[in-house]
Structure 1
Amino acid sequence: MGNAMTLSTLSIGDSIERYIQRVNAVPMLSPQEEHDLATRHQESGDVEAARQLVMSHLRVVVSIARGYSGYGLPQADLIQEGNIGLMKAVKRFEATRGVRLYSFAVHWIKAEIHEYILRNWRLVRIATTKAQRKLFFNLRSMKTSFAALTHKQAQEIADDLGVKPEEVLEMETRMTGQDIALVADDSDDDGYAPIDWLADSHNEPTAAMARIATDRLQSSGISEALDGLDERSRRIIEARWLTDDGESLTLHDLAAEFKVSAERIRQIETKALQKMKQALLPATV
């Protein structure tokens, strides 16, 4: 079951409206049909069964993707990312779970859309913790008006989401602010931009020494630290943090690979990172 199977139905030449009409025309499955198809896919890897499960739930992705239209990203891209999440859900869905695929897939669809938004929106770097991500995706709906938040309102939102009031106010400021160009427009010979006021610290002695230390860590230190891990721990660290294409695996992906829980993978990852940190300490002194 590849991406082409689903994404081909959303070609560049198609309008969003036409795509939505096409996916809405695909009939939903009855509980028994869904159970039979999921069983076929789970037991024998039936690709056609997986295709039918995906196609019948594309309308679900469209419905969810519409809820993220306020972030200024192309609706087609949001839908395609949601489709990837749907395919991941179908791959992991088990008919014996006692729940419908719709309920199971919602988490996977939203997770892929969230990751896409965080990678591509202009605030990508400010939502780093789980609580901050929750704030990022809920602040718009929790505001009662377009006016700036008062400190009391910020405190109430912070209490609900488990963050600090200062983080709520900072997030609001960034979400309502305007981007400022780092480089001046070439057409304006007399224009200045923030980059014009930045000092060049590239050749500063301390920075040069830091670069040398960093290069050493990247070339030999990390490799030596990885060599100190067992095979499973090394695989987890490499898949999570050291992929060449930047597409790291999730805890759930690795849990499926090693046939353990996602929480167990997280524990192994944490322990391995601590071990690597200790191994790298001498090189930083």
Structure 2
Amino acid sequence: MELTADHYLTPTHSGSLEDYLQRIARVPLLSAEEETSLARRLRDHHDLGAAQRMILSHLRLVASIARQYRGYGLPQADLIQEGNVGLMKAVRRFDPERGVRLVSFAVHWIKAEIHEYILRNWRLVKIATTKAQRKLFFGLRSLKPGFSSLSPQETRKIAEQLGVRPEDVSEMETRLAGQDISLDPGPEDDEHWVSPVAYLADEGAGPRETLEANENARNSHEGLQEALNRLDARSRKIIEDRWLRDEDAPPITLHDLADEWGISAERVRQIEVRALQKIRATLLPTPQPA
């Protein structure tokens, strides 16, 4: 059975990684003249057959580079597949007139795709987002001796080699040593295990509750203004002085209002009671029988 280019580019199609590596090892390498001729055909005539030959002849390069990243705990087949994507990008951008072989030009694109895949999948939480952090991430992984914590001397040495501050090396080492923690308890956790969701939960009101509270407050304010507008001037002034003053304002007694209006305190109380009844009737109208 004749194998298509897809079978070469995707290790999972072969059934085993070993079989894939054996097959790509049998693909002949290109001479410099062949590579230049194929690259010109691709550039000038968009010859996809030429692009395919250039890609297939460099698949063993991708596999060799992918082996350098076995320590990240990710499937080797996935690393190779991502590297193949970088190889295809390199072939598309390759200029045969620069006098550089494709093998040298493609290394950058292959590593870039593998790096991106590792950073996307190595942790649920991204540990390297900027270009400088990515460089430090892979540099520290390759230079750190063993799994023990770095000593101050080792930290300074690595910082000098990577051209960064010792503090940056220490911070990245802490990120590398961290573990992803599930917010919810898993089925294997016992009943005494407390998950982060138990103590990270937001006890405040959610967006829905906040919106409802704001809407209720607005309706209550508008309803109160409407109820006050239905009162006569004296009743409204008595209610405002007795119930709607600022919290830090001094209280006004029935006797104070009696002196202001020239009536008895009992009369002020009666006006206040009737005004409150009218307000209550406006805000909470009695339902009519069906």
Q: Which interval holds the TM-score relative to the shorter structure? A: 0.5 to 0.7
Q: Give the secondary structure class of the aligned counterpart of 1:68.
A: helix
User: Are the structure 2 counterparts of residues 56 and 13 from structure 1 closer, same or farther at C-alpha, using a change threshold of 3 Å?
Assistant: closer
Query: Match of 2:39, as an amino acid?
Result: A
Match of 1:198 in 2: 200
Match of 1:142 in 2: 143
Give the total of aligned pairs: 206
Q: Would you say the 8 A contact 1:157–1:168 is kept in 2? A: yes
User: Are the structure 2 counterparts of residues 8 and 136 from structure 1 closer, same or farther at C-alpha, using a change threshold of 3 Å?
Assistant: closer
Structure 2: stretches of 5+ with no match in the other structure: 212-290
Match of 2:288 in 1: none
Q: How does 1:23-38 map to 2 (within 5 A)?
A: 23-38=24-39
Following the alignment from structure 1 to structure 2, what is the Cα–Cα distance between the partners of residues 157 and 132? 14
Q: Would you say the 8 A contact 1:88–1:108 is kept in 2? A: yes
User: Are the structure 2 counterparts of residues 5 and 12 from structure 1 closer, same or farther at C-alpha, using a change threshold of 3 Å?
Assistant: closer
Query: Match of 1:58, as an amino acid?
Result: L
Match of 1:96 in 2: 97
* Poorly superposed stretches of 4+, deviation over 4 Å: 6-9
- Give a deviation string over 1:182-215, Cα, whole Å, max 9, x none: 221235334311221113156268xx79xxxxxx
Q: Would you say the 8 A contact 1:118–1:124 is kept in 2? A: no
Aligned-residue CA RMSD (Å): 2.5
Following the alignment from structure 2 to structure 1, what is the Cα–Cα distance between the partners of residues 88 and 164? 33
Q: Would you say the 8 A contact 2:185–2:193 is kept in 1? A: yes
Q: Could you say which structure has the larger radius of gyration?
A: 2
Deviation at 1:124, TM superposition (A): 5.3
User: Are the structure 2 counterparts of residues 48 and 155 from structure 1 closer, same or farther at C-alpha, using a change threshold of 3 Å?
Assistant: same
Q: Would you say the 8 A contact 1:54–1:90 is kept in 2? A: yes
Deviation at 1:33, TM superposition (A): 0.6
User: Which residue, out of 182, 188, 191, partners 1:189?
Assistant: 191
Query: Match of 2:202, as an amino acid?
Result: D
Following the alignment from structure 1 to structure 2, what is the Cα–Cα distance between the partners of residues 173 and 57? 37
Following the alignment from structure 1 to structure 2, what is the Cα–Cα distance between the partners of residues 13 and 37? 27
The 10-residue stretch of structure 1 (121-130 or 79-88) with the greater mean CA deviation from structure 2: 121-130
Q: How does 1:71-220 map to 2 (within 5 A)?
A: 71-122=72-123, 125-187=126-188, 188-200=190-202, 203=205
User: Are the structure 2 counterparts of residues 6 and 93 from structure 1 closer, same or farther at C-alpha, using a change threshold of 3 Å?
Assistant: farther
Deviation at 1:66, TM superposition (A): 0.5
Q: How does 1:239-254 map to 2 (within 5 A)?
A: none
Query: Match of 1:55, as an amino acid?
Result: L
Following the alignment from structure 2 to structure 1, what is the Cα–Cα distance between the partners of residues 75 and 192? 35
Deviation at 1:109, TM superposition (A): 0.4
Q: Would you say the 8 A contact 1:185–1:191 is kept in 2? A: no
Q: Give the secondary structure class of the aligned counterpart of 2:148.
A: coil
Kindly, what percent of the aligned residue pairs are identical?
Answer: 59
Q: How does 1:258-277 map to 2 (within 5 A)?
A: none
Following the alignment from structure 1 to structure 2, what is the Cα–Cα distance between the partners of residues 146 and 93? 40
Q: Give the secondary structure class of the aligned counterpart of 1:67.
A: helix
TM-score under structure 2 length normalisation: 0.65
Structure 1: stretches of 5+ with no match in the other structure: 210-285
TM-score under structure 1 length normalisation: 0.66
Query: Match of 2:41, as an amino acid?
Result: R
Q: Would you say the 8 A contact 2:12–2:77 is kept in 1? A: no
Following the alignment from structure 2 to structure 1, what is the Cα–Cα distance between the partners of residues 124 and 152? 22
Q: Would you say the 8 A contact 1:6–1:55 is kept in 2? A: no
